[in-house]
Amino acid sequence: MKALEEKIVREGRILPGNILKVGSFLNQQLDVDFLMEMGAEVARLYQGEKITKILTIEASGIAIATAFAAHLHVPVVFAKKHHSANQSDDVYHATVTSFTHGNTYEAIVAKEYLHAGDRVLLVDDFLATGEALRGLIAITKAANADLVGCAIAIEKGFQRGGDSLRAQGIRVESLAIIDAMSVENGIAYRRS
């Protein structure tokens, strides 16, 4: 999505350690009109797929999932992060190791909000190594729901998480894919 690629270049800040700060529109400040434009593009990409639910993970996925859902007209369910195991029979859970933050947490979804027969779109703001998505995929499978695909704002292609999921046959649509990034040379986007 060209408008997103340009916005990242214009407003993003690259920091050492492969960190991309997009706090002006996707993190601490949310450019909601722009998030809605991204939502329109996601609705176009997944047109006809009969999605019934968006699944994301708190907290950074919630805003973008809300904007995407406003176009797809489906509910959002977000996994909560717990730092201890929750063995309740009422929840689906998956262990996620975050390389970015160097910690491990349990992603938890109450069973009453995800069902067999649901056609699920996974949504997140960033895709790097793909650990969070793998947790959401495990939860989708545990619910016997159908995984339609993933919709991501910014994929750090060089961290390979997206391509690893695609190699498993999972549809991953990222609105911008960064194949290389450095403080010195800026951003190189993937061209298909």
Instruction: Enumerate binding residues for a second copy (CB under 8 A).
Output: 23-25, 28-33, 35-36, 58-59, 62-63, 65-67, 69-70, 73-78, 80, 109-110, 112-113
How many CB atoms neighbour CB 74 within 10 A?
A: 18
Q: Which is nearer to a second copy, 125 or 131 (by Cβ)?
A: 125
Phi, psi dihedral angles at 169 (to 5 degrees):
90, 10
Minimum separation from the CB atom of position 159 to a second copy (A): 24
Based on C-alpha coordinates, what's the Rg of the chain? 16
Alpha helices in 113-191 (DSSP H): 131-142, 161-167
Q: Which is nearer to a second copy, 90 or 184 (by Cβ)?
A: 90
Minimum separation from the CB atom of position 185 to a second copy (A): 25
For residue 171 the two structure tokens come to: 């549809």
Q: Which is nearer to a second copy, 21 or 166 (by Cβ)?
A: 21
Q: Which is nearer to a second copy, 100 or 164 (by Cβ)?
A: 100
Minimum separation from the CB atom of position 87 to a second copy (A): 18
Q: Which is nearer to a second copy, 33 or 184 (by Cβ)?
A: 33
Minimum separation from the CB atom of position 5 to a second copy (A): 20
Q: Which is nearer to a second copy, 38 or 177 (by Cβ)?
A: 38
For residue 132 the two structure tokens come to: 């969070």
Minimum separation from the CB atom of position 24 to a second copy (A): 7
Nearest to 36 by CA among 79, 72, 76, 2: 72
Cα angle value 66/35/120 (rounded, 5°): 40
Minimum separation from the CB atom of position 25 to a second copy (A): 8
Question: Going by C-beta distance under 8 Å and a sequence separation of 6 or more, which residues neighbour residue 182?
Answer: 14
Question: Going by C-beta distance under 8 Å and a sequence separation of 6 or more, which residues neighbour residue 78?
Answer: 55, 56, 57, 58, 61, 62, 65
